[in-house]
Amino acid sequence: MTMEFLNLKMPMVRGGSHAKAGTDPHSPDRRIEQIVFAVALIVLVAALPSLNIGYRFLSIAITTGYTAIALYGLGLQFGQAGIMSVGHAAMLGIGAYTAAMLSNHLGIGFWAALPASIVLAAIAGGLVGLPSLRVSGQHYIIITFCFCALLVICLTNGGSFTGAATGLDVGSIPRVLGINFDKLFNYYYLVLGALAITLATTYAIMNSSYGRTLRAIRENEQLARAIGINVDMHKIGVFMASGAFAGLAGILQVYYLRHISPTLYGAFPSLYLALMVMLGGGRLLYGPLIGAIIVNFLPEVMDLNPVDSRIAYGVALLIVILLLPGGVSSGLLAIYRWVGGLLVRRGSKAGS
Amino acid sequence: MAALEINGLRKAFGGVIALGGVDLSIPDDRITGVVGPNGSGKTTLFNVITGVYPPTGGSITWHGEDISGRAPHQIARKGLVRTFQQAMSFPGLPVKENVQIALERGGRQLRGGEPRWHSPEELLDFVGLGGRGNDDAGSMPFGNLRRLGVAVALAANPVLLLLDEPAAGLSDGEASMLADLIIKLPGMGIGVCLIDHHMTFMTALCQRLIVLDFGTKIADGTTQSVLTDPKVMEVYLGGEL
Amino acid sequence: MEILIQQLVNSLSVASVTILIGMGITLIFGLAGIVNFAHGEFLMIGGIATWFFVGMGLNFFVALVLAMVVVGALGFVAERGLFRFTLDRPMNGFIMSIGLSVILQHVVVRVFDEFQKSTPDPLNTVWVVGDVHIIAMRAVVVAITAVVVAITYFGISRSRYGLALRASVADQSTAELMGIPVRRYVTGVFVYGSILAGLGGALMIGLFPITPFVGSVIITRGFVVSLMGGLGNVNGAVLAGLVLGLVDGFSAGYGYPEWTDAYSLVIMIVILVVRPQGLLGGTLGPKAS
């Protein structure tokens, strides 16, 4: 009974920032609020290493950073266009293996491989997206899962070309302007820079007519076609964008870990990516980042072993889907607005 | 020659013939009504014209260009925009964004012309939804949802607007308010073709009626002549009017 | 010739497990409209429960029945506690089932450990017919599966229950108007499919050792079988399970075993794109109304 009651409330929570009265993201005061928040966040995060937080914390932060970049891709495709994938790690894998193979077979380093990783992952994203033009819903999710499993089989059976089950190694990133990326601090700032670009791009897409078009496709494909939107083209487009983000994340991952193997990109990592995006919420700007932070830092903060933390993620996912389908981010936003509303009412009472 | 010319249009689903060779010409400067009992092929006609289904046979010509078998979005971009009986809005989005999406899309069809509506608010005022811009489309009452459906279609910049049972589910008051809205459209350069059962609604709006029965046209003419046609009274109105 | 017959029996016993999992998925996906990604874990838990009860000194076949009860109860709890709240949002149900599969795997790892587990051969008998040596347990697995398939087939296609069930797939609201308790039927199908997974797991551990992670491998084959056979189509699942089991059994002997899983994945993608309701005719799942 309680559950059904909460289910009824879903649409309100689900809509997130673009669905509630008085929360128009385009109004000037909202925009200023958002920018102030983003700047504060960047300053805080950029200042973290100087607080002497230790290498362990920093390495988790790096993992969180590149995972979040990949999640922003999934966030666009799921949160905006409404198409979930449980094979997103495969896109990450395309980016990572492109970089590793270019390095091992052709001696091409990080900076030259960067665009190649992004472009190839984008193309792979578009190809995996093709069946979505015919198949939707649960059937399409199963297809993404199959593609991911297929990639792992191909990488494992690829002999010396892909390094087979043991995988491939890469060297360090060449210095730029004397910056040594072997230092964890500098790698942290590299990932942070990439994350900032990702966030800015996502913000621009979400608030553009392109973002609105994607949401139209999510909400009502038939009506979108009837008003002249080329639904098929935009679907492939969003899959390519999603793949591009994952490709960027993949190359950052391989040069951080220095060694990759097929299991990093299989079914399980894909499921965790889907889990993180659901947990954080795909529709709001900070949702994927929140999902990545929770999943990567939770075991550390709560001192959980890997087995317990996985159980905890799973339980958290069930709770989020049943009670908070917009993810933790929409819950936080609702609390923020509620507190804000309370303060405004208190203030106006005091003023009168 | 009228804007939309349909010749010998046929559509079969497996063995079921939904349209059995229909000839129609629909102008884009007035209001034309299509009536007929349930299952007479009215909605199928709209679906085939707007590219939801490819026709089994026959041709559809829009301003001299054959558009049969084109994708729905291509047909919409040529100015043939429709509404749906059920799928009227983008339910999870605010009302304003619903209209804005279509305005942005429709704006691209303007060939040097001035847009009819410059902002979502202006169009929402026109359909009587002023001040509702921030509401969640999915949580609106049914009557407002119908208006929003019309607003979204208008925003897409139609030359001929195809309305699929716009008054279904509305009260008499709501229906007459909607009729007041529709009747203004030809004066603004938007032709209308509408399907409905609601006879008072149709006779108030349409100078011309087309009657379909079992996928064929059985009458076509001025509203008065059609309403007094004995064949129409027989099949559609059960012999009494 | 002898080798061929032995290989046939071996392949059939492997195919039996595949058929049981595929039948469960085809019923739950096709008739109840739920994609339960944790179905493979239900099978794994059936196997682990059997191992646990045998370890407590119970007879294998008693343990098997208990494992079916355990997994059936798990299915009941999962359906009533989780999936019934997402029936109108099947995508959410699907994602939730992924979470459930992660939970179940790691709970088993937590309670026991991550290593593979096996039971001693329950029958410990080899039948010798001429020159053919057949491990008795494998033949028993095939026989049990055949009986279960027959029961399921008649239950779905001949009984009043099955008729009402198919009516509710075709048109849920009309079925409700006719007084069919659609909700309870969904639960029933889900629990029955879960019991089949429990049986599959028990039989599987009677044949080979399993790990807590076997579910993610077996789920793919289950989807292939249910899609090849047509969703909701029991005969189709049996036929597809046989074909897949035999292809697997023989390709392991003669083909490229490292690509075996790739075949089924490619088959599945092609079927989903070309005929989403499955090869042999089935449903697209009940329409949420």
Per the CB < 8 Å rule, is A222 touching B101? no
A223 close to B (CB below 8 A) = yes
Instruction: State residue B109's pLDDT score.
Output: 67
Share of chain A above pLDDT 70, in %: 90
- Alpha-carbon distance of A140 to A39, in angstroms, equals 38
Residue type, A343: L
Nearest CA in chain A to C100: A314
Instruction: State residue A15's pLDDT score.
Output: 36
C261 close to A (CB below 8 A) = yes
Residue A315 to chain B, least CA–CA distance (Å): 27
Helix (H, G, I), strand (E, B) or coil at A237: helix
A220 close to B (CB below 8 A) = yes
- Alpha-carbon distance of C261 to C259, in angstroms, equals 6
For the cut 70, the answer to whether the pLDDT of residue C254 exceeds it is no
- Domain edges within chain C: 2-274
Mean pLDDT score, B65-83: 91
- Beta carbons of C21 and C226 less than 8 angstroms apart: no
**CATH code 3.40.50.300 region(s) in chain B:** 1-68+158-171+186-241
- Residue in this structure with the two tokens 């900070």, named with its chain if needed: A286
Of B87, B108, B135, the CB nearest to A223: B87
Instruction: State residue A351's pLDDT score.
Output: 58
Q: What is the pLDDT of residues A156-198, one digit of tens each?
A: 888 888 888 888 888 877 777 877 888 888 899 899 999 999 9
Residue C217 to chain A, least CA–CA distance (Å): 10
C110 close to A (CB below 8 A) = yes
- Alpha-carbon distance of C124 to B87, in angstroms, equals 63
Residue C68 to chain A, least CA–CA distance (Å): 24
- Alpha-carbon distance of A250 to A244, in angstroms, equals 10
Quote the tokens at residue B241: 């009017």
Chain C hits for A143, Cβ within 8 Å: 268-269, 272-273
Chain A hits for B50, Cβ within 8 Å: 226
Per the CB < 8 Å rule, is A227 touching B109? no
Of B84, B108, B138, the CB nearest to A223: B84
Q: Which of B181, B227, B219, B161 is nearest to B200 (CA)?
A: B227
Chain B hits for A12, Cβ within 8 Å: 136
Determine how β-strand A259-260 pairs with β-strand A168-169.
antiparallel
A209 close to B (CB below 8 A) = yes
CATH number of C2-274: 1.10.3470
B81 close to A (CB below 8 A) = yes
Instruction: State residue C133's pLDDT score.
Output: 82
- Residue in this structure with the two tokens 């992924």, named with its chain if needed: C98
Q: Chains with ≥3 Cβ pairs under 8 A against A?
A: B, C
How many A/B residue pairs have CB atoms within 8 Å?
Answer: 103
For the cut 70, the answer to whether the pLDDT of residue B2 exceeds it is yes
A109 close to B (CB below 8 A) = no
Q: Is the ipTM of this complex over 0.85?
A: yes
Of C29, C107, C258, the CB nearest to A157: C258
Instruction: State residue B92's pLDDT score.
Output: 87
Residue C288's φ and ψ, nearest 5 degrees, are: -70, 130
Instruction: State residue A20's pLDDT score.
Output: 39
Most confident of B80-94, C55-69, C154-168, C254-268: C55-69
Per the CB < 8 Å rule, is C99 touching A315? yes
Report residue C231 CA to chain centroid gap: 13
Query: For an interface test with A, which of C37, C84, C102, C105 has the most A Cβ atoms less than 10 Å from its Cβ?
Result: C102
Instruction: State residue C167's pLDDT score.
Output: 78
Residue B234 to chain A, least CA–CA distance (Å): 35
Q: Which of B21, B101, B23 is nearest to B61 (CA)?
A: B23
Chain C hits for A321, Cβ within 8 Å: 86, 92, 95-96, 99
Instruction: State residue B149's pLDDT score.
Output: 92
Residue C192 to chain A, least CA–CA distance (Å): 22
Q: Which of B10, B18, B2, B109 is nearest to B68 (CA)?
A: B10
Instruction: State residue B133's pLDDT score.
Output: 85
CATH match of B1-68+158-171+186-241 with 3.40.50.300: yes
Alpha helix positions (H), A282-326: 287-301, 306-323
Per the CB < 8 Å rule, is A318 touching C99? yes
For the cut 60, the answer to whether the pLDDT of residue C288 exceeds it is no
Residue C141 to chain A, least CA–CA distance (Å): 29
- Beta carbons of C260 and C26 less than 8 angstroms apart: no
B53 close to A (CB below 8 A) = no
- Domain edges within chain A: 37-325
Q: Which of B43, B46, B90 is nearest to B72 (CA)?
A: B46
- Beta carbons of B210 and B24 less than 8 angstroms apart: yes
Mean pLDDT score, B186-207: 87
Mean pLDDT score, C273-281: 74
Per the CB < 8 Å rule, is A275 touching C98? yes
pLDDT band at C144 (very low <50, low <70, confident <90, very high): very high
Cβ neighbours for C119, distance < 8 A, ≥ 6 positions apart: C50, C51, C54, C60, C205, C206
- Alpha-carbon distance of C35 to C44, in angstroms, equals 17
Chains B and A touch (3+ CB pairs under 8 A): yes
Residue type, A328: V
Mean pLDDT score, C232-261: 76
C220 close to A (CB below 8 A) = yes
- Beta carbons of B55 and B69 less than 8 angstroms apart: yes
- Beta carbons of B41 and B236 less than 8 angstroms apart: no
Chain A hits for B83, Cβ within 8 Å: 226
Residue type, C123: L
Quote the tokens at residue B211: 């009657």
A37-325 CATH fold: ABC transporter involved in vitamin B12 uptake, BtuC (1.10.3470)
Most confident of A132-146, B98-112, C70-84: C70-84
Please give the model's pTM, rounded to 2 decimal places: 0.85
Q: Which helix (H) or strand (E) holds B161?
A: strand B160-164
Between B182 and C252, name the one with better pLDDT. Answer: B182
Least confident of A219-233, C16-30, C239-253: C239-253
Between A350 and B239, name the one with better pLDDT. Answer: A350
Instruction: State residue A28's pLDDT score.
Output: 52
A208 close to B (CB below 8 A) = no
Nearest CA in chain A to B136: A19
Chain A hits for C266, Cβ within 8 Å: 146, 150
Instruction: State residue B130's pLDDT score.
Output: 84
Q: What is the pLDDT of residues C157-197, one digit of tens each?
A: 778 877 887 777 777 777 777 777 888 888 999 999 999 99
Q: What is the dihedral of CA C183, C189, C192, C196, to 10 degrees?
A: -150
A142-160 burial: b if 16+ Cβ within 10 Å, else e: bbbbbbbbbbbbebbbeee
Nearest CA in chain A to B47: A226
Quote the tokens at residue C4: 């061929």
Residue A313 to chain B, least CA–CA distance (Å): 28
Q: Chains with ≥3 Cβ pairs under 8 A against B?
A: A
Share of chain B above pLDDT 90, in %: 33
Determine how β-strand B208-213 pairs with β-strand B216-222.
antiparallel
Q: Show the low-confidence residues of chain A (pLDDT under 50).
A: 1-26
C262 close to A (CB below 8 A) = yes
- Beta carbons of C229 and C282 less than 8 angstroms apart: yes
Per the CB < 8 Å rule, is B73 touching A12? no
Radius of gyration of chain A (CA): 21
Per the CB < 8 Å rule, is B72 touching A226? yes
- Residue in this structure with the two tokens 């089935």, named with its chain if needed: C282
- Alpha-carbon distance of A45 to B12, in angstroms, equals 63
Instruction: State residue B139's pLDDT score.
Output: 87
Per the CB < 8 Å rule, is C216 touching A142? no
Q: Give the DSSP letter of residue A304.
A: -
Of A4, A271, A311, the CB nearest to C98: A271
Residue A17 to chain B, least CA–CA distance (Å): 10
- Alpha-carbon distance of C120 to C208, in angstroms, equals 10
Instruction: State residue B17's pLDDT score.
Output: 86
